[in-house]
Chain A
Amino acid sequence: MSATETQAGANSLRSGPDGRGRFGIFGGRFVAETLMPLLLELDAAYKAAQADPEFQRELDFYLKDYVGRPSPLWLARRMTEQLGGAKIYMKREELNHTGSHKLNNVMGQILLARRMGRTRIVAETGAGQHGVATATVCALFGMKCAIYMGATDVERQKPNVFRMRLLGAEVVPVTAGAGTLKDAMNEAMRDWVTNVHDTYFLVGTVAGPHPYPQMVRDFQAVIGVETKEQIMAAEGRLPDAIVAAIGGGSNAMGIFHPFLDDPEVKLIGVEAAGCGLDSGRTAASIERGRPGVLHGNRTYLLQDEDGQITEAHSISAGLDYPGVGPEHSWLSDIGRADYVGATDQEALDAFQLCTRTEGIIPALESAHAIAYAAKLAPTMGKDQIIVVNISGRGDKDIFTVAEHLGVKL
């Protein structure tokens, strides 16, 4: 969307997806015929919006005065000292209105939905951050809003459920499957297919059928664009590594994308390893999955031999998803980005490390990125730089963390 984002040439890694919505073999539009005309309409509407300076002006206005952008790039001095290696910078997405990066994307899509004349919004949510962001803009623009959330997640993210209801959204608990993000996604798609005439499906991550992975990435790329400017201003050079947590992959794709053509910058996505990569209780789709088709796109999926999707596990509701955005699957296959895991325990430790050394309570999702950065930093020189994406704040997670620390609230 921004100048840097539109300059991608044919040889650029930033030029995807192709006309079919593919990144290599990944992506595509695997949806029922009922939805296909809507996706084509959405694609056309998005292209028209991209080409319209007025749309960009409107988005910039809301990003600045409502979301609160730009978000700072913070040099984490005490954490850097304690880890004794590379300099750690934190991209402070947790400072956005509603407390996570999710609003960047939601702001873009709600403006698009309005342009398309839609009056009702449906969305899926895991941790509730995307649901809260969606409910927020629906309140802002006076639109009807239904949020589908797995029943398990409704239970472990109560503060966000209450927030969404305060904002006027209808929160629909989904009991199918394990009652997590995957099931919420199915149910949101069912709502959309039933209410196509007035409803816009506001996808919260870089997954789903084309053009969602591209569109959500473009709206989140503001993270990486700002990071690039900020690190150049602070250090006069690009970072050696960028680390971000991977649920569906939107905060990671947003910060990675503007750096795809800068090979000196290592891009590292941290998946939720849950109880351990080989425990069978993990959400590490790239590291432990196989390519398959779910929720409208081909991507790495946790699945059994017969192609049945298996349940993911993570302490963090926002990472508890058996798939991943197709562009990440492609970046992994071509070796441009590395994907690693952080366990529940490592995330809990990093949650406390960040809180105690920086006075920043990170979301458990972001704590996975911090956990890996904390491993990586001591192996690097003091003149090297890591940027960690702090995708959200951890207020929503204090109950979960308290429980794991054996504290009754």
Chain B
Amino acid sequence: MSRIARRFATLRAQGRGALIPYVEACDPDYDTSLAILRGMPAAGADLIEVGVPFSDPSADGPTIQKAALRGLKGGASMKRVLEMVRAFREGDDGTPIILMGYTNPIEAYGPERFCMDAKAAGVDGLIVVDMPPEEADLLAAPAAANGLDIIRLVAPTTPDARLPIVFNGASGFVYYVSITGVTGTRTASTDELAAALPRLRRATDLPIAIGFGIRTPERAANAVSVADAAVVASALLNTLEGTLDADGKATAKTVPAVLEQLRGLADAVHAVSKTASK
């Protein structure tokens, strides 16, 4: 059983939903992002998404775009991202790590070598934003060979007839992009989510995470009341951005501010009792 499957099984047994925070690698520098990553489990993260900076994040809104640029300025490369995960794994063997990024840096690294090195570093799953099922063969074999979960994105625009195509080859969990739009903009309404989830449940037994536009503890709690996990990215990155000095450097406030916000989100998520659902 993969670390991701194990984590969701435990949560289900406990009747809890999961909070999945996002941290952009090397934003604004390696040490700060590693400190945030290391602090996340104690602050309530159940799984963690680590963003792999890319120069052209065309599915992301302004907040993640800026974080990616800061990450690149802070020295991010695929090698450096994997190093960061390895450093995290030295002190945490239980929290699943999912890399989220775009195809090109993976292709440049070499898909086979990437999957091997990612697994060795302690990565558990991959979300490749611009790799729909139609292009998934690039990673399918090496990811499977190395036991990496491929987390598929589903969107409000995905018709029912297409769900089996999207879920074919998916593992770990399913990521429901709750709005049509880029990250960090609009928030899906409770009604929209309530309408979307049953149609996904009918098509997959995998846990479902909701992401894009979840910014507050209330929204996060609302998401896990219908789904299995809530992903929060832009809200944390905004907080991080707000603590940087005029030169964009981290300050003493950076790590504590992000983790404190995370704690608030996690408390709200973990207060939701899920014994009746699923």
A residues with a Cβ closer than 8 A to B are 20, 28-38, 176-177, 182, 185-186, 189-190, 193-197, 290-296, 298, 301, 303, 305-310
Instruction: Let me know if B182 and A190 touch, CB within 8 A.
Output: yes
B83 to chain A, nearest CB (A): 13
Q: From known contacts A37-B158, A308-B72, infer whether A176 and B107 are also in contact, taking CB-CB under 8 Å.
A: no
Instruction: Let me know if B134 and A29 touch, CB within 8 A.
Output: yes
| A189 neighbours in B (Cβ, 8 Å) | 58-59
Instruction: Let me know if B65 and A309 touch, CB within 8 A.
Output: no
Instruction: Let me know if B108 and A306 touch, CB within 8 A.
Output: yes
The 17 sampled A-B contact pairs (Cβ below 8 Å) are A31-B130, A32-B129, A32-B132, A34-B177, A37-B157, A37-B159, A37-B162, A176-B65, A189-B58, A190-B58, A190-B59, A303-B104, A306-B108, A306-B109, A307-B78, A307-B108, A308-B104
6 smallest CB-CB distances across A and B, nearest first, come from A307-B108, A307-B105, A34-B155, A194-B181, A32-B59, A293-B103
Chain B 53-96 per-residue mask, 1 if CB under 8 angstroms from chain A, else 0: 01111111100010000001000011100000000000000000
Q: From known contacts A34-B177, A36-B132, infer whether A307 and B56 are also in contact, taking CB-CB under 8 Å.
A: no
Q: How far is the CA of A303 from the CA of B181 in the complex (A)?
A: 27
Q: How far is the CA of A35 from the CA of B158 in the complex (A)?
A: 9
Instruction: Let me know if A309 and B180 touch, CB within 8 A.
Output: no
Instruction: Let me know if A295 and B58 touch, CB within 8 A.
Output: yes
Residue B131 CB within 8 A of the other chain: yes
Instruction: Let me know if A33 and B56 touch, CB within 8 A.
Output: no
Instruction: Let me know if A309 and B104 touch, CB within 8 A.
Output: yes
Instruction: Let me know if A296 and B56 touch, CB within 8 A.
Output: no
Residue B244 CB within 8 A of the other chain: no
A172 to chain B, nearest CB (A): 13
Instruction: Let me know if B181 and A193 touch, CB within 8 A.
Output: yes
Residue B258 CB within 8 A of the other chain: no
Instruction: Let me know if B180 and A182 touch, CB within 8 A.
Output: no
Within 8 A of A (CB), among B7-32: none
A373 to chain B, nearest CB (A): 33
Residue B106 CB within 8 A of the other chain: yes
Interface magnitude class on chain B: 35 or more
Which of A29, A37, A193, A194 contacts B135 (CB under 8 A)?
A: A29
B residues with a Cβ closer than 8 A to A are 54-61, 65, 72, 77-79, 102-109, 129-132, 134-135, 152-159, 162, 166, 177, 180-182, 185
A214 to chain B, nearest CB (A): 15
| A293 neighbours in B (Cβ, 8 Å) | 102-104, 107, 130
Instruction: Let me know if A20 and B134 touch, CB within 8 A.
Output: yes
Which of A30, A38, A195 contacts B130 (CB under 8 A)?
A: A30
Nearest residue (CB) in B for A28 is: B135
Instruction: Let me know if A306 and B107 touch, CB within 8 A.
Output: no
Instruction: Let me know if B72 and A33 touch, CB within 8 A.
Output: no
| A31 neighbours in B (Cβ, 8 Å) | 130, 132
Q: How far is the CA of A282 from the CA of B104 in the complex (A)?
A: 21
A319 to chain B, nearest CB (A): 18
| B152 neighbours in A (Cβ, 8 Å) | 33
Contacts A33-B166, A190-B60, A293-B107 aside, 11 further interface pairs with beta carbons under 8 A come to: A28-B135, A30-B131, A33-B177, A176-B65, A190-B61, A193-B59, A194-B181, A290-B108, A292-B108, A296-B130, A303-B108
B34 to chain A, nearest CB (A): 19
Instruction: Let me know if B104 and A33 touch, CB within 8 A.
Output: no
| A35 neighbours in B (Cβ, 8 Å) | 157
Nearest residue (CB) in A for B185 is: A194
Instruction: Let me know if A36 and B104 touch, CB within 8 A.
Output: no
